[in-house]
Homo-oligomer: A and B are copies of this chain.
Amino acid sequence: MPNTTTVFLEEHNLDGFLFVGDSICDADMYYLTRFLAGDRFAALAQDGTTILVSSMEAGRARKESTAAKVLSTSEYHLLEKLKSGMAADEAYAQALVQMLRDHSVGRLGVPPSFPAGIFRHLIKYFEVDVLSSPVSRQREIKTDAEVAAIECAQRACERAMRRAVELIGASEPRGGILLRDGEPLTSERVKSAIEISLLEDGCEAEQTIVAGGRQAADPHMTGTGPLEADSPIVIDIFPRSKARRYYADMTRTVLRGEASPEVREMYRAVLLAQDRGLAAVSAGVSGRAVHEQVCQAFSEMGYREREGSGFIHSTGHGVGLQVHEKPSLSEVGGELVAGHVVTVEPGLYYPEIGGVRLEDLAVVAQGGCRNLTRFNRELILNR
C-alpha cells in the first residue's frame, strides 16, 4: 500500500495526500486505514499512514486501524479552539494545519471529494492540488484476499437469490397476480426473505430490487406491491459483507406463469448479449469495447435503443468496497486490467412490457475472465 502512494507522491512532487471524511461513506479512507467510523476523521498518506481521530475514538483506532500512527484531536487542542468560539470547520482546519506541519508537509494532495469547507482554509497555508485519489486507483485492482471477500459476499447473494426464486416459484398465479398461502405475494415480502437470508450470512443490502410488470421498465425502481403473474420479475441484489465491507452484485429475471413470445425473445436476447459481453472481457480490452460487443449483439437481434427504451444503461461497473466503482464498461470505459472485478449486466426495458436484466460478476484475467457467479439463468419457474 505505501509503495503505490509513495510513488504517486514522488510523481506529483507532494509531501502527503490528505483525506477527511468518514470511512462508512468514503471507501478510500476505509481501504487506507481499515478503521470503520461513522464520524469524521482525517487520514494523511505519506510513507506510512497517519490518522487523526477524536480522543474518544483513539483507543479503538489504535486497536483496529492498520494506520502506522494514530493521533487524537485533543493533541491539537480542538476542543479549546471550539470553546474559544472558532467556527467548527476553521477549528478543525487549524488542527489539521498543525498536524500537517508536524509531518513536514508543504505541498499537499487531496482527492476531488475533499470537503470544500476545509479545502478553502488549507490553501492559505499549503500548496494544495486536487488530484484523482491514488487510493481509488489502487482499489480498482483487487488482491486475492479482496477477490475472496467479494466471492464470500457473492455466495451470500446467491443464497438470498435462491430464497427469492423459490418463493416466487412456489407461488400460484391467479387473477393476474401471484398468490402465496392465499395472500398476494408482494415485492416487499420477497425483499424481506432476501434480507433475512443476507443477515444470516453476515451481509446487509440497501435498495434491493424485486420489481415486476411495468415497474421493472425503470432499471432502478425497487418494486412495490403484489407481483404480477405471466410477467418478468427483475431481482437485483447487491449485498455488502458487514465485517469485510466488500460488495457482490447479481441480477436474475424470473417469471411465474406463462411467458409471452415477446418476453421469451427479450430474455433470449439478454442472455446472448450477456454471453457476448462476458466473452469479450479480458485484460487489455477496453470497457468500451465490451460495451460495444453487447450493443452490437442487441442490434443484431433487432433490439435498438430509442426514446428511452431498449438497452438504456451501460454494460457494467467495477465492484469492491463500493457497489459502483471504476472501471466502467460503457461508452467511456478505459482499459481493463487483471484484477478488476466487474459486472456484465445487459438488460432490455419497455414501458409497456417491463424489464429483463441478467447480471454476473467476473474477475478480469489475462486472456479472459473468471465468472464469480454460480447461479443458473432460467426465466420460467415451474414447480
Contact = CB atoms under 8 A, between A and B. Distances in A.
Nearest to A25: B25
A242 B114 CA distance: 28
A204 B199 CA distance: 10
Nearest to A84: B332
Contacts of A110: 116
Contacts of A24: 25, 206
Contacts of A204: 204, 206
A151 interface: no
Nearest to A78: B332
A36 B206 CA distance: 10
A112 B60 CA distance: 27
A346 interface: no
A220 interface: yes
A60 B217 CA distance: 10
A374 interface: no
A378 B330 CA distance: 58
A299 interface: no
A284 B199 CA distance: 43
A69 to B, nearest CB: 18
Contacts of A313: 56
Interface centre among A36, A82, A111, A130 (most CB of B within 10 A): A130
Contacts of A111: 116-117
A323 B38 contact: yes
The count of identical subunits is: 2
A258 interface: no
B36 A207 contact: yes
Contacts of A312: 55-56
Given A112-B116, A117-B114, A120-B130, A60 B331 contact: no
Contact of A59 (B120, B192, B218): B218
A332 B113 contact: no
A140 interface: no
A313 B57 CA distance: 10
A195 interface: yes
Interface in A323-355: 323-324, 331-332
Interface string A1-40: 0000000000000000000000011000000000011110
A144 B63 CA distance: 42
A332 B220 contact: no
Given A56-B313, A196-B196, A331 B116 contact: no
A115 interface: yes
A119 interface: yes
Interface in A35-82: 36-39, 55-57, 59-60, 63, 79, 82
B89 A117 contact: no
A83 B207 contact: no
B196 A57 contact: no
Given A38-B324, A204-B204, 10 more contacts: A38-B207, A56-B220, A56-B312, A59-B218, A79-B331, A113-B116, A114-B117, A119-B119, A196-B199, A204-B206
Interface of A: 24-25, 36-39, 55-57, 59-60, 63, 79, 82-83, 89, 110-120, 130, 192, 195-196, 199, 204, 206-207, 218-221, 242, 308, 312-313, 323-324, 331-332
Q: Top 6 closest A-B pairs, CB basis?
A: A112-B117, A25-B25, A116-B119, A114-B116, A82-B332, A59-B218
15 contacts: A25-B25, A56-B220, A59-B221, A82-B332, A83-B331, A89-B112, A114-B115, A114-B116, A114-B117, A116-B130, A117-B130, A195-B199, A196-B199, A199-B199, A204-B206
